[in-house]
Structure 1
């Protein structure tokens, strides 16, 4: 599919029961799943209840293996380079905490970095004596690749960047960052939890060494699911901070061997129902086509930004040379929390982005708490109109 037409939008909405209940502009938080995702999860839970958990999992062993193939196809990777976890955070952490930092090591990140990642940097810096440095933004508000290049030396141990931040529609230049990292031989960890499912991701093109994803956001999968890609050259050099009998094999009373695939970053116990649901969600996105989704989402978000920007007393805060489906704004006369509440009363779902989620960016730009309205391809122009009318009442 080269583009998503009106008939396609109506089909997507018919596949999504939640569309008849709410106007959902919180897809960067947790999107509305297609009915087939929910039905898959429920079907497996029912099978567990009557067959037993181990037996139900054995019955769908081939389908579970197929989930890895689907996730690899989404990222243009190999199935053995994919690990499935319970969240993007868990996926990201399993790579970061396996890297091993020491005194004087430097971690380079972006100003738009997310709280969970930044807290991990600070913890490791406190433990080891490593330092955390925030790369400057360029004039568009995205990471300044020239400044990144200037900062490189033999002490830089990691370049870690959030692709799409939680607090705006910015898309950081991942491919350019990957080119710089690869040329310098420095590991590049990309947090793609907000971009997977709305942008077409190709780890070969991006040249990242690791990439983490959640299922619940733009991929429209179940909560409690996440996965990551690890380039084999990096994977083979890492031992995860925690191991069990799935991530490693106990080969003698005094020895163990790591799983040779990315499954060394997994644990034995997992939610198989949610895992199957994740696979269905990814296949559903692939059927639509990520380029078509990107085109639809970006256009709808651009319309929303323009419409909100025309309202007196409303300020749109998104930056970047390229922007995606997240739109952040504030209303001068009304606190963000109250705006969210009033929109919820009109059955419009949004969320609030606050300083505690992105201290570097909020501090540098002196941002207020913002409303985040994140669109998806099943949203409509009429829903955009409704959101704008409700915001206008509060301006």
Structure 2
């Protein structure tokens, strides 16, 4: 998180403490509206009304999934490289409505047969649900090509952009998705507990849950409730209660992002990540996940000898290198079944100093 974004969050909380939550929100209405304008520009949408604030990409994913109408026998097509939370949501939702989930197998490089996916969609698919970029490796899926397949066959198309937005150029119009999700706390460098959902206005998505933020009572001439009128835009998926501080913090982070060229950001990130991936590929003790060259900044790999995992983690920590560990529940249908217990993940950003890349490569070379 940048100093500017942190100041935005802290200053709002100070205002809230001074004047109270309701008044602080009223006085920040203009800034809150700017969030929607910046979010729709971040994913190259058409109008701020296509954006709903969410507390995470996972929440946005579920908002979209539960906003789709299913019937018994419907089919959901996805990939084995999907993030664990996304898969859980798909399988659980399918069990609720009598649908089935068709999983297209991806290998360790992320490669899968696009023709197999097309055939399954052509058989009849209610939804195609995939990630733009994987969480555990350098996989970047062909979202535009998949979008063409989905639309050609009348399937709804939802894309998880959690690991894409902020590092990879995103254009929801060319992807042709019905919904696209994003988080604030990763590549956008916003606060945790923030994200958003893009909803294509031509989609068939309808909010499963509503409150006064999304709907109004319709009263008859005796002032009795005669129905409920739900708003038509993406904000039907929002709830009235939210972290305004977090919302404004994410808005600030997106403002910083939009002032830079995403192509320049991606060029720097991928150069750093590709250098690290090259080092991993050269070490016979390690196994790279995904492609050696990718536009994603996510570097995923594992130690071929699980007994060396703890020592490798200690070496990274000793050098002060931030590294995250992923387990089988994070990518249950993709996780290597060779006895390993951990996937190591490095995610250099454009502001990462060259010295940190040098240090990471040094640890990897001696692993």
Q: How does 1:76-225 map to 2 (within 5 A)?
A: 76-77=44-45, 78-137=47-106, 141-153=110-122, 155-225=124-194
| Matching residue within 349, 358, 365 for 1:376 | 349
CA contact (8 A) 2:215 2:230 kept: yes
CA contact (8 A) 2:108 2:290 kept: no
Could you say which residue in structure 2 is the equivalent of 1:294?
266
1:288 and 1:171 map into 2 onto residues whose CA distance is 22
Q: How does 1:207-246 map to 2 (within 5 A)?
A: 207-234=176-203, 237-246=204-213
| Matching residue within 242, 248, 272 for 1:270 | 242
Say what the alpha-carbon RMSD is for the aligned residues: 2.0
Could you say which residue in structure 2 is the equivalent of 1:36?
4
CA contact (8 A) 2:279 2:364 kept: no
- TM-superposed CA distance for 1:363, in Å, is 5.5
CA contact (8 A) 2:274 2:294 kept: no
**Does 2:306 correspond to 1:306?**
no
Pair 1:344–1:322, CA change in 2 (3 A): closer
Pair 1:182–1:364, CA change in 2 (3 A): farther
- TM-superposed CA distance for 1:342, in Å, is 3.7
- TM-superposed CA distance for 1:372, in Å, is 0.4
2:67 and 2:183 map into 1 onto residues whose CA distance is 20
Unmatched segments (≥5 aa) in structure 2: 220-224
| Matching residue within 186, 209, 214 for 1:247 | 214
* 288-297 or 150-159, which deviates more: 150-159
Q: In the TM superposition, what whole-angstrom CA distance separates every residue of 1:331-352 from its partner, at most 9, and x where no partner exists?
A: 3455445533442233211111
- In structure 2, the residue corresponding to 1:96 is in which secondary structure? helix
1:38 and 1:328 map into 2 onto residues whose CA distance is 29
1:72 and 1:140 map into 2 onto residues whose CA distance is 32
2:64 and 2:311 map into 1 onto residues whose CA distance is 38
- TM-superposed CA distance for 1:390, in Å, is 2.8
Could you say which residue in structure 2 is the equivalent of 1:30?
none
**Does 2:228 correspond to 1:256?**
yes
- TM-superposed CA distance for 1:149, in Å, is 1.1
Could you say which residue in structure 1 is the equivalent of 2:332?
359
**Does 2:31 correspond to 1:63?**
yes
Q: How does 1:2-17 map to 2 (within 5 A)?
A: none
Unmatched segments (≥5 aa) in structure 1: 1-32
TM-score of the pair, normalised by structure 1: 0.86
1:35 and 1:140 map into 2 onto residues whose CA distance is 37
CA contact (8 A) 1:340 1:351 kept: no
CA contact (8 A) 1:86 1:226 kept: yes
Which fold has the larger relative contact order, with Cα–Cα distance below 8 Å and residues 6 or more apart in sequence?
1
* 369-378 or 215-224, which deviates more: 369-378
- TM-superposed CA distance for 1:322, in Å, is 4.1
CA contact (8 A) 2:327 2:342 kept: yes
